[in-house]
A and B are shown apart, each in its own frame.
Chain A
Amino acid sequence: MLHTVNKSPYSNTALESCLRFIQQDDVILLLEDGVYAAANGTRISHLIEKALDTHSVYAIQADVKARGLQDLITGVKLADYQDFVKLLETHRSNAWL
Protein backbone atom coordinates (compact mmCIF):
# COMPACT_ATOMS: atom_id res chain seq x y z
CA MET A 1 0.00 0.00 0.00
CA LEU A 2 1.18 3.51 -0.85
CA HIS A 3 0.03 6.07 1.74
CA THR A 4 -0.04 9.65 0.50
CA VAL A 5 -0.16 12.59 2.92
CA ASN A 6 -0.75 16.07 1.54
CA LYS A 7 -1.53 18.07 4.69
CA SER A 8 0.81 19.99 6.98
CA PRO A 9 1.61 17.87 10.05
CA TYR A 10 1.17 20.99 12.23
CA SER A 11 -2.46 21.65 11.33
CA ASN A 12 -3.84 18.25 10.48
CA THR A 13 -3.68 14.75 11.95
CA ALA A 14 -3.41 13.06 8.53
CA LEU A 15 0.21 12.03 9.04
CA GLU A 16 -0.33 10.76 12.58
CA SER A 17 -3.35 8.73 11.48
CA CYS A 18 -1.47 7.36 8.49
CA LEU A 19 1.26 6.18 10.85
CA ARG A 20 -1.32 4.62 13.16
CA PHE A 21 -2.84 2.54 10.35
CA ILE A 22 0.26 1.74 8.31
CA GLN A 23 1.17 -1.91 7.81
CA GLN A 24 4.42 -3.72 7.16
CA ASP A 25 5.91 -3.14 3.68
CA ASP A 26 3.71 -0.07 3.13
CA VAL A 27 5.29 3.05 1.63
CA ILE A 28 4.71 6.71 2.55
CA LEU A 29 4.72 9.53 0.02
CA LEU A 30 4.60 13.14 1.23
CA LEU A 31 3.32 15.77 -1.18
CA GLU A 32 2.02 19.34 -1.19
CA ASP A 33 2.03 20.65 2.43
CA GLY A 34 2.68 17.09 3.58
CA VAL A 35 6.37 17.56 2.73
CA TYR A 36 6.83 19.81 5.78
CA ALA A 37 6.89 16.56 7.77
CA ALA A 38 10.19 15.67 6.05
CA ALA A 39 12.03 18.71 7.45
CA ASN A 40 14.85 17.97 9.86
CA GLY A 41 14.92 19.16 13.49
CA THR A 42 11.28 20.13 13.87
CA ARG A 43 8.82 19.43 16.69
CA ILE A 44 7.42 16.53 14.72
CA SER A 45 10.43 15.20 12.82
CA HIS A 46 10.58 12.20 15.15
CA LEU A 47 7.43 10.90 13.43
CA ILE A 48 9.15 10.43 10.08
CA GLU A 49 12.42 9.39 11.72
CA LYS A 50 10.58 6.53 13.43
CA ALA A 51 8.65 5.63 10.28
CA LEU A 52 11.95 5.35 8.40
CA ASP A 53 13.00 2.49 10.67
CA THR A 54 10.38 0.30 9.03
CA HIS A 55 9.11 2.04 5.89
CA SER A 56 10.29 3.82 2.78
CA VAL A 57 9.41 7.52 2.84
CA TYR A 58 9.32 9.67 -0.30
CA ALA A 59 8.75 13.40 -0.69
CA ILE A 60 7.76 15.04 -3.97
CA GLN A 61 10.77 17.07 -5.05
CA ALA A 62 8.78 19.89 -6.66
CA ASP A 63 6.87 20.43 -3.41
CA VAL A 64 10.06 20.30 -1.32
CA LYS A 65 11.78 22.84 -3.57
CA ALA A 66 8.71 25.06 -3.73
CA ARG A 67 8.76 25.32 0.06
CA GLY A 68 12.51 25.92 0.24
CA LEU A 69 13.14 22.87 2.40
CA GLN A 70 16.83 22.08 2.22
CA ASP A 71 17.55 20.20 5.44
CA LEU A 72 15.54 17.01 5.13
CA ILE A 73 15.50 14.07 7.52
CA THR A 74 18.18 11.58 6.47
CA GLY A 75 16.64 8.67 4.62
CA VAL A 76 13.73 10.53 3.04
CA LYS A 77 13.94 9.96 -0.73
CA LEU A 78 13.02 12.66 -3.19
CA ALA A 79 10.58 11.59 -5.89
CA ASP A 80 9.67 13.32 -9.15
CA TYR A 81 6.26 12.90 -10.77
CA GLN A 82 7.47 9.93 -12.84
CA ASP A 83 8.52 8.20 -9.64
CA PHE A 84 5.09 9.01 -8.19
CA VAL A 85 3.38 7.37 -11.18
CA LYS A 86 5.62 4.31 -10.86
CA LEU A 87 4.73 4.00 -7.18
CA LEU A 88 1.05 4.22 -8.06
CA GLU A 89 1.48 1.55 -10.72
CA THR A 90 3.07 -0.85 -8.28
CA HIS A 91 0.97 -0.17 -5.17
CA ARG A 92 -2.65 0.27 -4.23
CA SER A 93 -3.05 3.69 -2.65
CA ASN A 94 -4.60 5.18 0.44
CA ALA A 95 -4.83 8.97 0.35
CA TRP A 96 -4.89 10.60 3.81
CA LEU A 97 -6.64 13.79 2.75
Chain B
Amino acid sequence: MSESPKKVMITVRKAPHGSIYVQEAIEVMFIVASFGMELSVAFIDDGVLALKSGQDTGELGIKGFMASLGALTDFEVTKVYADQQSLDDRNLSEDDLVFIGEDEETEEPVKAKITSSENIAKMMAEQDSIMSL
Protein backbone atom coordinates (compact mmCIF):
# COMPACT_ATOMS: atom_id res chain seq x y z
CA MET B 1 0.00 0.00 0.00
CA SER B 2 1.50 3.30 -1.00
CA GLU B 3 0.42 6.59 0.48
CA SER B 4 0.97 9.89 -1.26
CA PRO B 5 3.77 11.88 0.37
CA LYS B 6 2.76 14.20 3.14
CA LYS B 7 2.52 17.84 2.14
CA VAL B 8 4.48 19.99 4.54
CA MET B 9 5.08 23.73 4.43
CA ILE B 10 7.77 25.51 6.40
CA THR B 11 7.11 29.20 6.94
CA VAL B 12 10.03 31.50 7.73
CA ARG B 13 8.94 34.80 9.28
CA LYS B 14 11.97 35.99 11.26
CA ALA B 15 14.90 38.16 10.22
CA PRO B 16 18.07 36.15 9.64
CA HIS B 17 20.81 37.01 12.15
CA GLY B 18 19.18 38.29 15.35
CA SER B 19 18.05 34.82 16.33
CA ILE B 20 18.70 31.24 15.32
CA TYR B 21 15.23 30.70 13.80
CA VAL B 22 16.22 30.95 10.13
CA GLN B 23 19.25 28.72 10.62
CA GLU B 24 17.02 26.15 12.32
CA ALA B 25 14.42 26.49 9.56
CA ILE B 26 17.03 25.59 6.93
CA GLU B 27 18.08 22.54 8.96
CA VAL B 28 14.45 21.45 9.22
CA MET B 29 14.03 21.94 5.45
CA PHE B 30 16.86 19.49 4.80
CA ILE B 31 15.41 16.98 7.26
CA VAL B 32 11.87 17.17 5.88
CA ALA B 33 13.11 16.91 2.29
CA SER B 34 15.30 13.91 3.15
CA PHE B 35 12.25 12.07 4.47
CA GLY B 36 10.64 12.31 1.04
CA MET B 37 7.82 14.59 2.10
CA GLU B 38 6.40 17.06 -0.38
CA LEU B 39 7.99 20.19 1.03
CA SER B 40 7.27 23.78 0.20
CA VAL B 41 8.90 26.75 1.91
CA ALA B 42 7.39 30.22 2.25
CA PHE B 43 9.46 33.25 3.23
CA ILE B 44 7.05 35.80 4.73
CA ASP B 45 7.40 39.06 6.70
CA ASP B 46 10.98 39.53 7.98
CA GLY B 47 11.71 36.04 6.64
CA VAL B 48 12.26 37.54 3.17
CA LEU B 49 15.30 39.39 4.58
CA ALA B 50 17.06 36.03 4.77
CA LEU B 51 16.92 35.85 0.97
CA LYS B 52 18.69 39.17 0.45
CA SER B 53 21.94 38.93 -1.48
CA GLY B 54 25.21 40.38 -0.19
CA GLN B 55 24.90 39.17 3.41
CA ASP B 56 28.30 38.68 5.03
CA THR B 57 28.35 37.46 8.63
CA GLY B 58 32.15 37.25 8.77
CA GLU B 59 32.57 40.16 11.17
CA LEU B 60 29.95 38.70 13.46
CA GLY B 61 32.26 35.74 13.87
CA ILE B 62 29.66 33.27 12.71
CA LYS B 63 29.65 31.10 9.64
CA GLY B 64 26.10 32.01 8.69
CA PHE B 65 23.90 29.94 6.45
CA MET B 66 24.27 31.59 3.07
CA ALA B 67 26.06 28.51 1.70
CA SER B 68 23.15 26.29 2.75
CA LEU B 69 20.65 28.75 1.32
CA GLY B 70 22.56 28.76 -1.96
CA ALA B 71 22.29 24.98 -2.21
CA LEU B 72 18.66 24.35 -1.27
CA THR B 73 17.89 22.70 -4.60
CA ASP B 74 20.79 20.25 -4.09
CA PHE B 75 18.85 18.99 -1.06
CA GLU B 76 15.62 18.68 -3.03
CA VAL B 77 14.19 21.87 -1.53
CA THR B 78 12.79 23.26 -4.76
CA LYS B 79 9.37 24.74 -3.95
CA VAL B 80 10.56 27.96 -2.39
CA TYR B 81 8.35 31.04 -2.36
CA ALA B 82 8.78 34.64 -1.26
CA ASP B 83 5.78 36.78 -0.38
CA GLN B 84 5.47 39.73 -2.76
CA GLN B 85 3.92 42.02 -0.15
CA SER B 86 6.70 41.34 2.37
CA LEU B 87 9.32 42.14 -0.29
CA ASP B 88 7.50 45.32 -1.34
CA ASP B 89 7.23 46.44 2.32
CA ARG B 90 11.02 46.18 2.59
CA ASN B 91 11.83 47.71 -0.81
CA LEU B 92 13.18 44.42 -2.11
CA SER B 93 12.66 42.97 -5.57
CA GLU B 94 13.74 39.83 -7.39
CA ASP B 95 17.08 41.46 -8.31
CA ASP B 96 17.95 41.70 -4.61
CA LEU B 97 17.50 38.00 -3.92
CA VAL B 98 20.12 35.25 -3.67
CA PHE B 99 20.14 32.17 -5.85
CA ILE B 100 19.02 29.05 -4.04
CA GLY B 101 20.70 26.62 -6.40
CA GLU B 102 20.21 25.41 -9.94
CA ASP B 103 17.25 24.18 -11.91
CA GLU B 104 17.45 20.39 -12.07
CA GLU B 105 16.94 20.24 -15.81
CA THR B 106 18.27 23.47 -17.26
CA GLU B 107 21.01 23.95 -14.62
CA GLU B 108 20.17 27.65 -14.69
CA PRO B 109 20.51 29.36 -11.30
CA VAL B 110 17.12 29.78 -9.63
CA LYS B 111 15.72 32.09 -6.98
CA ALA B 112 12.75 31.82 -4.66
CA LYS B 113 9.55 32.27 -6.65
CA ILE B 114 7.90 35.57 -5.81
CA THR B 115 4.17 35.19 -5.41
CA SER B 116 1.17 36.89 -3.82
CA SER B 117 0.00 36.41 -0.25
CA GLU B 118 -3.19 35.03 -1.76
CA ASN B 119 -1.32 32.30 -3.61
CA ILE B 120 0.68 31.39 -0.54
CA ALA B 121 -2.53 31.30 1.49
CA LYS B 122 -4.01 28.85 -1.02
CA MET B 123 -0.91 26.67 -0.77
CA MET B 124 -1.20 26.75 3.03
CA ALA B 125 -4.74 25.44 2.74
CA GLU B 126 -3.48 22.40 0.79
CA GLN B 127 -0.89 21.30 3.36
CA ASP B 128 -1.14 18.36 5.72
CA SER B 129 1.04 20.28 8.12
CA ILE B 130 2.56 23.74 8.50
CA MET B 131 5.74 24.27 10.51
CA SER B 132 6.35 27.86 11.61
CA LEU B 133 9.92 28.93 12.16
> For this complex, into which size category does the number of interface residues on chain B fall?
10 to 19
B12 smallest CB distance to A (angstroms): 11
The chain A residue with its CB closest to the CB of B131 is: A95
Q: Is A74 an interface residue (CB 8 A)?
A: no
The answer on a CB contact under 8 Å between B13 and A92 is no
> For this complex, into which size category does the number of interface residues on chain A fall?
10 to 19
The answer on a CB contact under 8 Å between B127 and A92 is yes
Q: Mark B1-17, 1 if CB is under 8 A from A, else 0.
A: 00000000001010000
Q: Is B85 an interface residue (CB 8 A)?
A: yes
Q: Is A22 an interface residue (CB 8 A)?
A: yes
Listed in ascending order, the chain B residues whose CB lies under 8 Å from chain A are 11, 13, 44-45, 85, 117, 120-122, 124-125, 127-130, 132-133
B30 smallest CB distance to A (angstroms): 20
Stretch at the interface among A13-21, A37-45, A81-89: A13-21
- Residues on B with C-beta less than 8 A from A14 are 13
The answer on a CB contact under 8 Å between A92 and B132 is no
- 24 A-B pairs (CB sep. < 8 Å): A1-B125, A13-B45, A17-B13, A17-B44, A20-B117, A20-B121, A21-B44, A21-B117, A21-B120, A21-B121, A21-B124, A23-B121, A23-B122, A23-B125, A92-B128, A92-B129, A92-B130, A94-B11, A94-B124, A94-B130, A95-B132, A96-B13, A96-B132, A97-B13
The chain B residue with its CB closest to the CB of A4 is: B132
